[in-house]
């Protein structure tokens, strides 16, 4: 439903987006991740037809965004970064205007606005100028205009930016509920958001795709994937660590002591499952275990490993 090929954008000497290829199908919620300035917003603007590319193309439901713009944008809901335009309007006026632009009138417009207002919980502020709304409500007005015409494709630039934890949860639930019959792309800096709503994550860095997979596939690249941690009394830590090292599937053991307790973590070779070996050893050897847990992996670790460049690494290792 979204087809992007060779998409490129230069701003003077900066190549903001450098040959991005991407397809997104029905039922997918693709999380677009990357450091500041990686090119996420620029890619989304080009895919939505708000910025002309210098190379490549984007198609929405088969319609080229540059040569068949209106038909492509009919199939598309787009939430740009920042606040919605027309701050003097109230949400009711703004959504009425968007409905008109989308070709809806009469009952169809009223029903579409009511549904979008309900889904984004905008009732309390419908008659208040957008300019005077809190950041979270402004963002929700933006989400409401993007979903108003129930488009098959949604492109949303940081949809939960500025929302409080309850509102974040509500918008994520909304995205999930809409996802089965839509193709959705969201950009985010919140790695927990990827795990909460995305079926697929794409990491871009310096305008290029550097990782593309399900959240589970990315987690499998984490150093902590299938690592097992035990919390034991500090006095037992060295002995526990030494025994854990004797397990053939253990690659490395690390420990940290605080307040008389030690956290001892066994890292597996090649992502092997360690939990049974470790828990079996702990019960056979009567360790005084306060906690024992395995980890799926840490997305922040993968993100850092992929997007921290050699120069930064060298600087960090010198520090
Ligand atoms: P963030 O996470 O900070 O929102 P991003 O991944 O969305 O970043 P972009 O906003 O797409 O990144 O910017 C990519 C690069 O292009 C940056 O170096 C940015 O400064 C540059 N850039 C974006 N828009 C313009 C513009 N209109 N004129 C000049 N440079 C621009």
Flag whether pLDDT at 312 surpasses 80.
no
Stated pTM of the model: 0.89
Q: Is 13 in the pocket of ligand 1 (CB under 6 A)?
A: no
Which stretch of 62-71, 88-97, 160-169, 199-208 has the lowest confidence by average pLDDT?
160-169
Give the contacts of 255 (CB within 8 A, at least 6 positions apart).
Answer: 237, 238, 241, 262, 263, 264, 265
pLDDT at residue 138, as a whole number: 92
Q: Per-residue pLDDT averaged across 79-103, rounded?
A: 92
* Alpha helices in the chain, H assignment, sequence order: 40-48, 69-74, 91-101, 106-120, 135-147, 165-178, 191-197, 215-219, 237-245, 275-284, 299-307, 310-318
pLDDT at residue 83, as a whole number: 72
Which tens digits make up the pLDDT trace of 240-255? 999 999 999 999 999 9
| Residue 24 alpha carbon to ligand 1 centre in Å | 23
Q: Is 42 in the pocket of ligand 1 (CB under 6 A)?
A: yes
> 113 with 66: CB under 8 angstroms?
no
Which tens digits make up the pLDDT trace of 162-219? 889 998 998 999 999 999 999 999 999 888 899 999 999 999 999 999 999 999 999 9
Q: Is 80 in the pocket of ligand 1 (CB under 6 A)?
A: no
Q: Whose CA is nearest to atom 11 of ligand 1?
A: 39
> 26 with 77: CB under 8 angstroms?
no
Q: Is 250 in the pocket of ligand 1 (CB under 6 A)?
A: no
pLDDT band at 317 (very low <50, low <70, confident <90, very high): very low
pLDDT at residue 310, as a whole number: 52
| Residue 265 alpha carbon to ligand 1 centre in Å | 40
Which tens digits make up the pLDDT trace of 266-289? 999 998 999 999 999 999 999 999
Q: Is 307 in the pocket of ligand 1 (CB under 6 A)?
A: no
| Residue 289 alpha carbon to ligand 1 centre in Å | 49
Q: Is 52 in the pocket of ligand 1 (CB under 6 A)?
A: no
Beta bridge partners of 222: none
Q: Whose CA is nearest to atom 21 of ligand 1?
A: 16
The C-alpha atoms of residue 255 and residue 243 are separated, in whole angstroms, by 13
């Amino acid at each position: 439903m979204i087809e992007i090929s060779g998409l490129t954008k230069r701003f003077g000497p900066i190549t903001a987006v450098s040959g991005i290829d991407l397809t997104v199908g029905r039922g997918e919620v693709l999380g677009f991740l990357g450091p500041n300035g990686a090119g996420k917003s620029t890619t989304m603007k080009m895919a939505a037809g708000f910025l002309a590319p210098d190379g490549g193309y984007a198609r929405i439901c088969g319609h080229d965004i540059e040569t068949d713009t209106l038909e492509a944008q009919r199939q598309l809901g787009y939430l740009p970064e920042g606040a919605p335009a027309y701050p003097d309007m109230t949400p009711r006026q703004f959504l009425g205007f968007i409905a008109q632009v989308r070709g809806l009138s009469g009952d169809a417009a009223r029903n579409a606005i009511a549904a979008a207002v309900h889904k984004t919980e905008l009732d309390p502020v419908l008659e208040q100028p957008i300019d005077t709304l809190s950041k979270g409500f402004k963002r929700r007005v933006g989400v409401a205009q993007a979903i108003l015409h129930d488009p098959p494709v949604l492109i949303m630039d940081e949809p939960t930016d500025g929302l409080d934890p309850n509102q974040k949860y509500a918008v994520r639930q909304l995205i999930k509920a809409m996802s089965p019959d839509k193709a959705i792309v969201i950009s985010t800096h919140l790695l927990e958001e990827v795990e909460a709503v995305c079926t697929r994550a794409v990491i871009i860095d310096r305008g290029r795709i550097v990782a593309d997979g399900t959240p589970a596939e990315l987690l499998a690249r984490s150093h902590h994937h299938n690592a097992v941690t035990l919390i034991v009394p500090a006095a037992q830590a060295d002995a526990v660590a030494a025994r854990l090292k004797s397990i053939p599937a253990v690659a490395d053991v690390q420990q940290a002591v605080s307040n008389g307790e030690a956290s001892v973590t066994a890292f597996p070779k090649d992502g092997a499952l360690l939990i049974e070996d470790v828990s079996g050893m702990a019960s056979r050897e009567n360790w005084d275990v306060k906690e024992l847990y395995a980890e799926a992996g840490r997305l922040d670790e993968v993100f850092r490993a992929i997007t921290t460049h050699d120069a930064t690494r060298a600087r960090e290792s010198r520090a």
